[in-house]
Amino acid sequence: MNETVREIYGIRVHCEADPRAGDVLDAFFGPPSAVRDASTAPVLRLTVRVVEDAAGPTVEPPHTEEVIAANPILMDTGGSRCLFNPVDGTATVELCAADLDDPIVWGRWLLERLALYLVCRSPRLYPLHAGAFVVDGHAVLVSGPTGMGKSTFTHAAVRRGAHLVGEDIMVRDLRDDVPGRVFGYSRALYLSPDRMDDNLAGAVRAPVNGGEKYRVTLGGPLAARMRPWIVPTSVVFLARDGVAVRPLTVDEAVDRCRDDVATGKAGQSVLAGIEADLRGLFKDRPVLELAMSDDLDASYDALLAALNDKEVRWT
């Protein structure tokens, strides 16, 4: 077994893995490294084994509130599986050899969910249903409901030269020693087929739900434009109708996040701490609503114009 230290969402992941799973870990986490010091970061101890025979046909494991609340949490695809113990922060992944080349199994169904479940069950971490990018001195946190187009809008920004921080889940750590920092996962995008372009040439693409979307594993030239975290200079909530760009109050912004940040959390004191942290995050920085149009470039330009307008004072 090979031992390495990786990181995702600011969590230090101590990996003990079968050498045959090395390419999977590199594709998912990137090269062995960690941004945060071991004395301050939350820790996951991950064991990855490779097994030869599938126990049954490949199926997507259920993703429900009951699964998130379980002790331990089991994700079973029929061939590969992950058993996560939220109490002691350990996880064991058994990857079927036939699934080593399937990023939907090891990426979407096992490792991405493992990271999300860890965040949801942690008393110090919480998730934001958001992506993020950095461009022209702006570190933009982009939120919105499922299906609104966060991934598509984030990819449009990357296509225009932005640096990618995350596309669907961003994470706050209540004990972080860097004020306002938000962690992301920048190694995969989920895009519809019509959003593929030359910017993604050479990226590994795996169909989701029969090709309705693709999981696009990033790397190569784009690796230089991936960032593990930002301190946002602005927060943007996507919408379908309304004024192109308008300010939101802190109360409006907190209301739009409340259901997502509460996932998997137990106890009013934990939820109160999260809400106080959210209010601190949204205070003293522009919090905007962007009405999306079908013309992504026009929406992106409208947002940048508002952020660059020194005469505008957002409250």
Reference 257, options 271, 242, 240; nearest CA is 271
Reference 156, options 209, 197, 105, 123; nearest CA is 197
CA dihedral sign of residues 49, 55, 60, 65:
negative
Other beta carbons less than 10 A from residue 240's beta carbon:
11
C-alpha–C-alpha distance, residues 53 and 95, integer Å:
10
pLDDT in tens, 9-65: 999 999 999 999 999 999 999 988 878 888 889 999 999 999 998 777 899 999 999
* Average pLDDT estimate for 109-120: 97
315 has a pLDDT exceeding 60: no
pLDDT class of 314 with cuts at 50, 70, 90 = very low
110 has a pLDDT exceeding 90: yes
CA dihedral sign of residues 194, 198, 200, 206:
positive
Higher pLDDT, 267 or 26: 26
Buried b (16+ CB within 10 A) or exposed e, 24-55: bbebbbbebebebeeeebbebebbbebbeeee
* Average pLDDT estimate for 257-283: 92
pLDDT in tens, 227-243: 999 999 999 999 987 77
97 has a pLDDT exceeding 80: yes
Distances (CA, A) of 238 to 11, 24, 70, 202, 289: 28, 33, 32, 30, 6
pLDDT in tens, 156-214: 898 888 999 999 999 999 999 999 999 999 999 898 888 777 777 778 899 998 889 99
CA dihedral sign of residues 270, 250, 163, 177:
negative
CA dihedral sign of residues 130, 30, 45, 73:
positive
* Average pLDDT estimate for 289-293: 90
Instruction: List domains and CATH numbers for the chain.
Output: 2-121 (no CATH), 125-308 (3.40.50.300)
Rounded to 5°, the CA angle 41-45-48 comes to: 140
Q: For the chain, state the CA radius of gyration.
A: 19
Strand partners, 126: 172
Q: How many CA atoms lie within 13 A of 216 on its CB side?
A: 27
pLDDT in tens, 117-153: 999 999 999 999 999 999 989 999 999 887 777 888 8
SS3 2: strand
Helical pair 150-159 and 296-308, crossing angle rounded to 10 deg: 70
C-alpha–C-alpha distance, residues 282 and 250, integer Å:
6
pLDDT of residue 294: 83
What's the chain's average pLDDT? Answer: 91
